[in-house]
Amino acid sequence: MTAVLETSDLSKTFTLHARGGLVLPVFSGISLSLRPGECLALTGHSGSGKSSLLRCLYGNYSASSGDVRIRHADQWVSLSTAAPREVLEVRRRTLGYVSQFLRVIPRVSTLDIVAEPLRRLGVAADEARSQAAQWLARLNLHERLWHLPPATFSGGEQQRVNIAHGLIAGHPVLLLDEPTASLDADNRRVVVELIHAARAGGAAVIGIFHDDEVRAAVASRCLDVEDYRQSN
């Protein structure tokens, strides 16, 4: 099987202009390759740059040097040089991301938020909502919450909305930033099952899993971001 995501000599540095051009090195020289069905867990202490790496892979952060390439519509797309509309197209069809925090859109119901990735793929509203309902039910989100905007939900409830939103479109590459951080044991188990199902369906997964048990259950290998720490 050929890779679906690759980085070559990827590095990330922040330059803080308000602090006199202070340079904050994060990581450098990361070359990785991911195949369908694999799950790579990123490890390292808090602040080691795991989330920054994930954001680079999503195209949310720009790479300071090196490149991120993703297999999209039978072609390699470089996220560093792709036009914004190409990056958005990659995210629509190929690249899913579950962030730690839900970005709430005023007035939009939970059901519609979860249904949105399907709507963007052209699925009819009713069908998208009905699939969204199945995902929310699977993640044990109480039905009375489905028609409310998630702004006032608890951390764990918002995280489950985020997971449903991130997984519903069945993207072949998934980036998961601590998907189980605020979940109880039952819901952690559900998420582990969902990740297994995604992998079995051929998805390639890169994730940050703080919970050792979860990581051991889902990951096929690990990458310690600390090994790529840039020295000042």
Partner 1 sequence: MTGDLLLSVRGAGKQFMQGNRLRWACRDVSFDLYPGEVLAVVGESGSGKSTLLRLLAARLGLDAGSVHYDVRGEAGADGGPGRSAAGLVDLAQLSEARLRWLSRTDWGFVEQHARDGLRMNVSGGANIGERMMALGARHYGKLRSEALSWMERVELETDRIDDLPGSYSGGMQQRLQIARNLVTHPRLVFMDEPTTGLDVSVQARLLDLVRELVNQLQLAAVIVTHDLAVARLLAHRMLVMKDGCVVEQGLTDRVLDDPQHPYTQLLVSSVLTP
Q: Cβ distance 52 to 232 under 8 Å?
A: no
- CA angle centred on 100, ends 144 and 140, rounded to 5°: 30
Cα gap 228→193, rounded to integer Å: 31
Nearer Cβ to partner 1 (128/218): 128
Least Å from the CB of residue 225 to partner 1: 17
87 is a site residue for partner 1 (CB under 8 A): yes
User: Among positive and negative, which fits the CA dihedral 190, 192, 197, 202?
Assistant: positive
Q: Choose the stretch contacting partner 1; rule: CB under 8 A; options: 35-43, 57-65, 130-138, 156-164.
A: 57-65
Give yes or no for residue 23 binding partner 1 (CB under 8 A).
no
Q: Does 107 bind partner 1 (CB under 8 A)?
A: yes
Q: Which of 36, 44, 49, 59 binds partner 1 (CB under 8 A)?
A: 59
Q: Does 111 bind partner 1 (CB under 8 A)?
A: no
* Unique residue bearing structure tokens 């954001």: 55
Identity of the amino acid at 87: V
How many other CB atoms sit within 10 Å of the CB of residue 2? 8
Q: Which is nearer to partner 1, 94 or 180 (CB)?
A: 94
CA nearest neighbour of 183 among 205, 165, 159: 159
Based on the shown chain and the rule CB under 8 A, indicate whether residue 73 belongs to the binding site for partner 1: no
Which candidate, 198, 128, 130, 129, places its Cα nearest to that of 163? 198
Cβ-based nearer residue to partner 1, 37 or 149: 149
Rounded-to-integer distance, Cα 117 and Cα 122, Å? 9
Closest to partner 1 by CB, 59 vs 179, is 59
Give me the least distance between CB of 99 and partner 1, in Å please. 10
According to CB under 8 A, which one of 17, 46, 122, 142 is a site residue for partner 1?
A: 17
What are the residues binding partner 1 (CB under 8 A)? 14-18, 55, 59-62, 84-85, 87-89, 103, 105-108, 119
